[in-house]
Amino acid sequence: MASAAEGDVGTVAELAKVLRFGFEELSLNKLATSLGASEQALRLIISIFMGYPLAVFYRRYLFFKDTYLIHLFHTFTGLSIAYFNFGNQLYHSLLCIVLQFLILRLMGRTVTAVLTTYCFQMAYLLAGYYYTATGNYDIKWTMPHCVLTLKLIGLAVDYFDGGKDQNSLSSEQQKYAIRGVPSLLEVAGFSYFYGAFLVGPQFSMNHYMKLVQGQLTDTPGKIPNSTIPALRRLSLGLVYLVGYTVLSPHITEDYLLTEDYENHPFWFRCMYMLLWGKFVLNKYVTCWLVTEGVCILTGLGFNGFDEHGKAQWDACANMKVWLFETTPRFTGTIASFNINTNAWVARYFFKRLKFLGNKELSQGLSLLFLALWHGLHSGYLVCFQMEFLIVIVERQAASLIQESPALSRLSSITVLQPFYYLVQQTIHWLFMGYSMTAFCLFTWDKWLKVYKSVYFLGHVFFLSLLFILPYVHKAMVPRKEKLKKMG
């Protein structure tokens, strides 16, 4: 009888589990459909916003507790978020974290450990892209894994630097070098931190350890006064989220592939590409602002004090929103967008290529690394190739205007400043949209179709300038200015 009763209880429990899972799937599906989003996108948004109650719990109950409890909390919550979004595929992140810990322990602070980490972590990520890639943007386990890949590579490089003589390191390397030996629990907590596991931002192990040791606060010995700064970033993120939700049904990359788009006049195709290019980035801005708020709330966003003694909370900022919205330059957009990832590439890749003795080559290889890190689609390579080309041309143009007396005087006319700004912004966002077309459409047949419809305008415009500007510079810059620059 007891055995039968236990069996019945087990059956009921199993049935309840299945029904609960079924209701969860049904409700999420219905809610996602009503919002015009995919279920995976909804799960992602829920997970990002869940960082706020988790951060409140951490502040209230764990901020000054034993570090192992905090590592456990971060590991458990991160794994739960991974399971909620990707189910059993969370094993990918778990496997790479454990293997990375073993690489550090078995190979030590060696170049071999760093190279092994680069090769293994990137190979694993690229294999994931290869086996899961489709022609559309899908939210899969590879999305947080690309964030994790950079974290683990940075961990290996910082651990390697920690074994060097401090005097041989730059001030930046000294700041990030890991002197101790991280435990598996520390590496797991660092990797699974709920405020950054899914979409970033990047931060170092040293910065994370300051968090768990209670050092990231503006009032030593007390919980940080970071609630208001966190709510500001959350509010700004919500503004972008609402804007994106309202406009996303009307401004889509799919329209770029339609006959209706092709049948419109050339000026319309260009203007739509401009507006879409400005709009499409808002989904990334939304996620980064919301997660930055989580990081600020926990204290991870604390970045010391400014010269007036005011606490700064921008250590995990991935966006400089004002600069992003107002800059008329491509380099300004790069400096204001995905800041921590760009800083990571500069610190762990670009500057490590100094031995090549060629800044442009190092920059080109860094952009190639970024393109591969994003995925295997040809669109990523085209996008970052365009970025490389645009930045070179923009520097040439800025140098020409600065060094040519005639152009310098013309550019300084106050009454013409609004006109210059409007022209710059039009060029800026038109070709930002042109570059993002390849990035968002992924496959060559799609982006090639759109580029044909605008007659490869971006490539023609910037390649022409690349070859023309040196001759213009030679003609318009006096010899004495050139000699002064050389001197």
pLDDT tens-place string over residues 387-418: 999 999 999 999 999 999 999 999 999 999 99
65, part of any domain: yes
DSSP H helices in 442-456: 444-453
337, part of any domain: no
Question: Could you list the residue range(s) of the whole structural domain that residue 190 is in?
Answer: 20-215
pLDDT digits (tens, 9 = 90+) for 47-98: 999 999 999 999 999 999 999 999 999 999 999 999 999 999 999 999 999 9
Helix axes 39-49, 2-35, angle to 10 degrees: 100
Q: Which residues contact 231 (CB under 8 A, 6 or more apart)?
A: 293
Instruction: Please compute the mean of the pLDDT values over residues 19-42 and round it to a whole number.
Output: 68
Considering the candidates 85, 282, 338, 342, report the single residue annotated as catalytic: 338
Instruction: Please compute the mean of the pLDDT values over residues 330-350 and round it to a whole number.
Output: 95
CA distance linking residue 427 with residue 332, whole number of Å: 14
Residue 436: pLDDT over 90:
yes
384, part of any domain: no
Q: How many domains does the chain have?
A: 1
119, part of any domain: yes
Instruction: Please compute the mean of the pLDDT values over residues 309-336 and round it to a whole number.
Output: 95
pLDDT at 8: 47
341, part of any domain: no
28 pLDDT band (50/70/90 cuts)?
confident
pLDDT at 327: 96
Residue 228: pLDDT over 80:
yes
Lowest-confidence region among 29-33, 104-108, 125-129, 355-359? 29-33
Q: Is 459 in the active site?
A: no
pLDDT at 9: 47
197 pLDDT band (50/70/90 cuts)?
very high
What are the two backbone dihedrals, phi and then psi, of residue 414, each rounded to the nearest 5 degrees?
Answer: -60, -45
Considering the candidates 206, 225, 303, 374, report the single residue annotated as catalytic: 374
436, part of any domain: no
Q: Is 264 in the active site?
A: no
Examine residue 418 and say whether the peptide bond preceding it is cis (omega within 30 degrees of 0): no
325, part of any domain: no
Are the CB atoms for 216 and 302 separated by under 8 Å?
yes
What are the two backbone dihedrals, phi and then psi, of residue 305, each rounded to the nearest 5 degrees?
Answer: -125, 150
Instruction: Please compute the mean of the pLDDT values over residues 263-285 and round it to a whole number.
Output: 95
pLDDT at 18: 47
464, part of any domain: no
346 pLDDT band (50/70/90 cuts)?
very high
pLDDT digits (tens, 9 = 90+) for 165-183: 988 999 999 999 999 999 9
Query: Which letter, b or e, does each residue of 164-180 get, where b requires 16 or more Cβ atoms within 10 Å of its Cβ?
Result: eeeeeeeeebeebbbee
Taking the complete model, does pTM exceed 0.85, yes or no? Answer: yes
